[in-house]
Amino acid sequence: MVASRLIAKLQRYEGWFGIAAGLLIMVGLYMGLVTSSPDYYQGEVVRIMYIHVPAAQSAMFAYTVLFGGSLWYLWKRDPVVDNMCHAAAGIGIFFTAIALVTGSIWAKPTWNTWWTWDPRLISFAIMLLILVGYLMLRTFLEDKEKEATYAAILAIVGFIDLPIIHFSVEWWRTLHQPLSISTRGVSIARDMLIPLLLMSIGFYLLFAYMLMVRTQMLYLQHLLEAKRGRMLSKVHL
Amino acid sequence: MHFFNVIRWIAWKDLLSELRNRENISSMFFFALIVILIFSFSFSLDPKTSQELMPGIIWIAFGFTGIIGLGKSFLAEVHNDCMEYFQIVPAPKGAIYLGKFAGNALFMLIVEVILFPLFILFFNLDVLEKIPMILLIFVAATIGLSALGTLFSALTVQIRAREVMFPILLLPLAVPIFIGAVEATRGVFSGDPLPLYSDWIKLLVVFDLIFMVVSFWVFEFILDY
């Protein structure tokens, strides 16, 4: 089981990931909230970006990890990879929710509405629904191996669907009304870029740290269940 | 030939059992009928607003119908312990999927074709010459809905909260079908020329193709998990 060995090896360093994430996020937050200049158009509201953008990136990264892990699981049937997918989905919900909430708070002063039918908003909302459905499906299935396989299938189908949802909504809205204000094409000032980069890297590291801890927890939980004798034959140690 | 025979026999088996007990189609039909009636009570529709709202109402009704019908797709197999036979039958697993899919799509289409005249009746629509185009949209959207629905039905049929889980999984992923179908139907109803809404039909066709291929591939994993 190549993947489980790799995960075990990385987990020796998980503390460093946590510390690095904490430091980067602290420095990034200080720079973003205190030292960087307010935006010319958006004013102080722009500072939400330092949380919103990294959270959105990490959420998408979490789903990508979930997708890759699900493919890997269907191929190799490595139960540790399944634990990792399970962990990635839960953490993905956390980051997706942060991205949606901060985006909504940002949209109120900027677009003058809490919610609009913007393709990015819709695809994130649907991503949240898919991830919640994923975890629900897992809790309802009793057989561990069946749970892992069915969940992996759902994750793969959902991942393929997300870009289609994004484009269909984008298409739908552009036919009805022009897209809301887009920051595309506006180059970003250096004193805004550096905190944003720090926060992005910090959030990725935070995701990695959370993923390692949660994977370990789920793995130990399964081990415990196995030791209780319920599914001794199905855990490959 | 073997591959297509499997598809044909499974679809035929579903059709035959449906012809004998008429459970699925009648429950789908009456459920959709009730949805339509409730909509016509809750909006007091004049001809102009009904043109505006009809596409949405039609696809909400058909979507719910699909949930009723598709969710039960593998129930007979589970009750009769046939899922195990699907696992051991010496046939390509994808063919079993396509057979179930064909049966489901056919049931849904039958219900839609019976319901559509009622829509025209209840809401005073003037669409007689547009029927071929509307049928095309029905077929394209129904294929996509059944492709996903058959897959998720197989995923959820053996769990306790089947009735809840099936729509929770299916509806978010079916968003492109609903957008495409509603927009295309609206285009037809408002008498737009074809190029204005043909892109939506293309979206439906692309969705159908992608999810038939994906489901065809992953169905094997569902059966021999």
Closest by CA position to A95, among listed A217, A201, A207: A207
Side-chain-side CA neighbours of A44 within 13 Å: the count stands at 3
Distance CA A217, CA A224 (A): 10
Single pTM value for the model = 0.88
SS3 state at B80 = coil
Within chain A, strands assigned E span none
Question: What is the least distance, in Å, from the CA of A200 to any CA of chain B?
Answer: 28
Average pLDDT for A174-179: 56
CA–centroid distance for A237 within its chain:
29
Question: Which chain A residues touch B218 with a CB distance below 8 Å?
Answer: 74, 153, 156-157
What is the identity of the amino acid at B64? F
Q: Between the CA of residue A227 and those of A221, B35, B60, what are the distances in Å?
A: 10, 51, 49
Domain ranges of chain B: 2-223
Distance CA A207, CA A200 (A): 11
Contact A164 B176 (CB under 8 A): yes
Q: Does B67 touch chain A (CB under 8 A)?
A: no
Which A-chain residues 28-87 have CB contacts (< 8 A) with chain B? 74
Question: What is the least distance, in Å, from the CA of B84 to any CA of chain A?
Answer: 14
Q: Between the CA of residue A99 and those of A104, A113, B3, what are the distances in Å?
A: 8, 16, 47
Domain ranges of chain A: 2-234
Predicted confidence at residue A137, as pLDDT, reads: 93
Distance CA B204, CA B110 (A): 19
Distance CA A198, CA B20 (A): 66
Question: Which chain A residues touch B203 with a CB distance below 8 Å?
Answer: 168, 171
Whether the pLDDT of residue A149 is over 90: the answer is yes
- Whether residue B201 contacts residue B184, with contact meaning beta carbons closer than 8 Å, is answered with yes
Most confident of A31-35, A79-83, A91-95, A144-148: A91-95
**What residues form DSSP beta bridges with A43?**
A39
Distance CA B44, CA B52 (A): 13
> Could you tell me if residue A48 is left (phi over 0), alpha (psi between -120 and 50 degrees) or otherwise beta?
alpha
Q: Which residues, including other chains, have CB under 8 Å from residue B164's CB and lie 6 or more apart?
A: none
B99-156 pLDDT per residue, tens: 999 999 999 999 999 888 888 887 777 777 888 888 999 999 999 999 999 999 999 9
**What residues form DSSP beta bridges with A39?**
A43
Share of chain A above pLDDT 70, in %: 88
Closest by CA position to B90, among listed B224, B208, B225, B184: B224
Distance CA B147, CA A33 (A): 49
- Whether residue A85 contacts residue A27, with contact meaning beta carbons closer than 8 Å, is answered with no
Q: CA geometry: angle at A197 spanning A196 and A198, to 5°?
A: 90
Can you read off the two tokens belonging to residue A215?
């994977």
Q: Which of A67, A150, A165, A169 to mutate to test the interface with B (most CBs of B within 10 A)?
A: A150
Question: Which chain B residues touch A136 with a CB distance below 8 Å?
Answer: 165, 168
Distance CA A133, CA B166 (A): 10
Question: Which 8-state DSSP code applies to residue A1?
Answer: -
Contact B173 A141 (CB under 8 A): no
Residue B203: closest C-alpha in chain A: A168
The mean-pLDDT minimum among A121-125, A139-143, B50-54, B166-170 falls in B50-54
A100-131 pLDDT per residue, tens: 999 888 888 888 888 877 788 888 999 999 99
Predicted confidence at residue B127, as pLDDT, reads: 74
Provide the residue count of chain A.
237
> Could you tell me if residue A185 is left (phi over 0), alpha (psi between -120 and 50 degrees) or otherwise beta?
left
A77-88 pLDDT per residue, tens: 888 899 999 999
Which B-chain residues 171-210 have CB contacts (< 8 A) with chain A? 172-173, 175-176, 179-180, 183, 199, 203, 206-207, 210
Contact A168 B180 (CB under 8 A): yes
Distance CA A107, CA A94 (A): 20
What number is the ipTM of this complex? 0.89
- Whether residue B30 contacts residue B107, with contact meaning beta carbons closer than 8 Å, is answered with no
Average pLDDT for B60-85: 87
Question: Which chain A residues touch B217 with a CB distance below 8 Å?
Answer: none
- Whether residue B140 contacts residue B205, with contact meaning beta carbons closer than 8 Å, is answered with yes
Question: Which chain A residues touch B180 with a CB distance below 8 Å?
Answer: 168
> Could you tell me if residue A181 is left (phi over 0), alpha (psi between -120 and 50 degrees) or otherwise beta?
beta
What is the identity of the amino acid at A32? G
Contact B155 A130 (CB under 8 A): no
Contact B225 A146 (CB under 8 A): yes
Q: What confidence tier does A181 reach under pLDDT thresholds 50, 70, 90?
A: very low
Predicted confidence at residue B81, as pLDDT, reads: 84
Residue B175: closest C-alpha in chain A: A165
Q: Does A227 touch chain B (CB under 8 A)?
A: no
**If you count residue pairs, one on A and one on B, with CB atoms under 8 Å apart, how many are there?**
81
The mean-pLDDT minimum among A33-42, A48-57, B134-143 falls in A33-42
